[in-house]
């Protein structure tokens, strides 16, 4: 059982890394950017640096739980937004698990 859990956690970490990496590079393929023509803001957020250096900074930030500042909600960090919204997401996820498990029990489907 422990081996199964370790394997699943390892695969989850690999999946999260792959999604973050693919998303990062795909977003950099899109023409334009959030600060078109604003060199000071590009410099502030490190968008003037080479792509590999941006990726390294991005991954280091993720590992430390630092998702930078929100571009939509000025003055708030993405981490603080996630923390304040997490209880609602967890509640919805928990309800979904309960509903699905009850449906499976009522259908007599082993899970």
Check residue 105 and give left, alpha or beta (phi > 0: left; psi -120 to 50: alpha).
Answer: alpha
Contact 79, 68 (CB under 8 A): no
Give pLDDT tens digits for 76-107: 999 999 999 999 999 999 999 999 988 888 88
Can you state the angle between helices 2-29 and 51-63, rounded to 10 degrees?
A: 140
Per residue in 24-54, pLDDT tens?
A: 999 999 988 878 878 888 898 898 999 999 9
Q: Convert the pLDDT of each residue in 53-70 to its tens digit.
A: 999 999 999 999 888 888
Rounded to two decimals, the pTM is 0.70
Q: Where are the domains of the chain?
A: 1-66, 73-111
């Amino acid at each position: 059982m422990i081996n199964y859990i370790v394997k699943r956690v390892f695969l989850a970490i690999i999946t999260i890394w792959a999604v973050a990496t693919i998303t990062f590079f795909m977003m950099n393929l899109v023409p334009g950017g959030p600060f078109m023509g604003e060199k000071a803001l590009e410099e502030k957020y490190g968008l003037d640096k080479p792509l590999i250096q941006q990726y390294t900074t991005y991954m280091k930030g993720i590992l430390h739980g630092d998702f930078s500042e929100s571009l939509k909600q000025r003055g708030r960090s993405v981490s603080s937004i996630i923390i304040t919204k997490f209880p609602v997401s967890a509640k919805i996820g928990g309800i979904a698990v309960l509903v699905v498990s009850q449906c499976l029990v009522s259908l007599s489907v082993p899970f």
